[in-house]
Amino acid sequence: MIRETELSVRDFIYPLFVCEGEQVKREVKSMPGVFQYSLDMLDSELCELESLGIAAVLLFGLPSHKDECGSQAYDENGIVQRAVRQIRADHPKLFVITDVCMCEYTSHGHCGKLTPSGDVDNDATLQWLAAEALSHAQAGANMVAPSDMMDGHVAAIRQALDQGGFSNVGIMSYSTKYASGFYGPFRDAADSAPAHGDRRSYQMDPANREEGVRMAEIDIAQGADMVMVKPALAYLDVLRDVRERLHFPTVAYNVSGEYSMVKAAAQNGWIDEKRVVLELLLSIKRAGACMIITYHAKEAARWLSEVDHG
C-alpha cells in the first residue's frame, strides 16, 4: 500500500539490431540473449515483443557497406529504413524509434564527418544527421533518437522534419550522454568502434553533474520531446537531477555494459539474475526515469507478469 514506485512492461523500450543478408540471427558474443537479425528473421522477434506487452523498439542498423560519409545512414533503402517500413506494415501497433547517428555507417566509426586532421566537424555533421532523421521519418518512424552528441543536432533535425512534413514525428534526444566504458559490448553489437581515437571530444565527462542538466536543457530548448541520461546505473544522480529540475519526460538507457555485467555474474551463479534485474530497473525508475531502454526488457516483462506475492 505504501509502495512508491511501480515497474511495468510499459516502461520498457527494447533495442533491436538489424543487419543485411538472409537467415541471420546472430548472437552478440558479449551480450548473451541479444541478437542481430536480418529482415526476414525479424518477424518472430516482433511477435514475441508484442505478446510480452513491450510497446516500443529502438532500431540500430548494421549496413553492408560503410564509407567516409556514412552514406547508408541516409539512404532510403538503407537497412534501418527498410526495417522501419517492414515493421510499420506488419506491426502497426509497435512504436518505432530509430537511433540517429553516423558511427555505425562511417568507415572510421566516428559519429560524424571528419576534418582533414581527423577531428569531428560538428556543423558539417548536422546536415547528415538531418538527412538521416528525415529518411527514417519518410520510412515511417514514429520517433527519432539522435545519439551523436553534436551541438545543435536537435534544432537541425526538428527543422528538417518539419520542412519535410513530419511535424508529428517526435525527437527523443540522447541529451546527456557520457563518454563511458559501459558502451563496450554495444560496439560489438553494432560494429561501431572508432578506428582511431575515442569519443571524448563529443561525449561528456563522467565527472560532470551540472553539465548533464545543462545539456538536457539545451536540447529541450531546441525542440526535443524527451531527453535521456545514458548510461543509467552509474548516473542515477544525474537522472534524478534532470527529471526533478527540468520536469520533462526523461528516458534512461540501461546500456550494453550494464547488461553484460549482470549476465556474466548470473551465468557464473554469483547473483540471482531475476532479483537483481528487477531491482536495478526499479531503481532506475525510482531515480526518475519515465521510460527505460533496456536489453533486459523481454526477461523483465516475463518476470513482471508472473504473479509474485513473495
Q: Which of 94, 120, 255, 297 binds ligand PBG (CB under 6 A)?
A: 255
**How far apart are the C-alpha atoms of 147 and 192, rounded to whole Å?**
13
C-alpha cell at position 148: 551523436
Beta bridge partners of 96: 57
Binding mask 187-216 for ligand PBG (x = CB under 6 A): ------------x-----------------
**How far apart are the C-alpha atoms of 210 and 253, rounded to whole Å?**
19
Concerning whether 230 is annotated as a catalytic residue, the answer is yes
Q: How far is the CB of 285 from ligand PBG (least distance, A)?
A: 18
Q: Which is nearer to ligand PBG, 43 or 276 (CB)?
A: 276
Nearest residue to the partner ligand PBG, using Cβ: 186
Are 186 and 199 in contact by the 8 Å Cβ rule? The answer is: no
Name the active-site residue from 66, 230, 285, 298. 230
User: Does 155 sit near ligand PBG (CB under 6 A)?
Assistant: no
Q: Which of 183, 202, 235, 303 binds ligand PBG (CB under 6 A)?
A: 183
Residues in the chain: 310
**How far is residue 276 from each of residues 32, 185, 229, 283, measured CA to CA in Å?**
16, 20, 21, 10
Q: Which is nearer to ligand PBG, 178 or 303 (CB)?
A: 178
Judged by CB under 6 A, the number of residues near ligand PBG is 10
Q: How far is the CB of 165 from ligand PBG (least distance, A)?
A: 27
Name the active-site residue from 25, 29, 113, 177. 177
C-alpha cell at position 217: 536543457
**How far is residue 140 from each of residues 88, 207, 280, measured CA to CA in Å?**
7, 38, 33
**How far apart are the C-alpha atoms of 200 and 8, rounded to whole Å?**
35
Q: Which is nearer to ligand PBG, 75 or 99 (CB)?
A: 99
User: Does 111 sit near ligand PBG (CB under 6 A)?
Assistant: yes
Q: Nearest Cα to 106, choosing from 65, 66, 146?
A: 66
Alpha carbon distance, N-terminus to C-terminus of the chain: 15
List binders of ligand PBG among 5-64 (CB under 6 A).
Answer: none
User: Does 122 sit near ligand PBG (CB under 6 A)?
Assistant: no
Return the active site residues: 177, 230
Which residues are at the interface with ligand PBG (CB under 6 A)?
Answer: 99, 101, 103, 111, 147, 183, 186, 199, 255-256
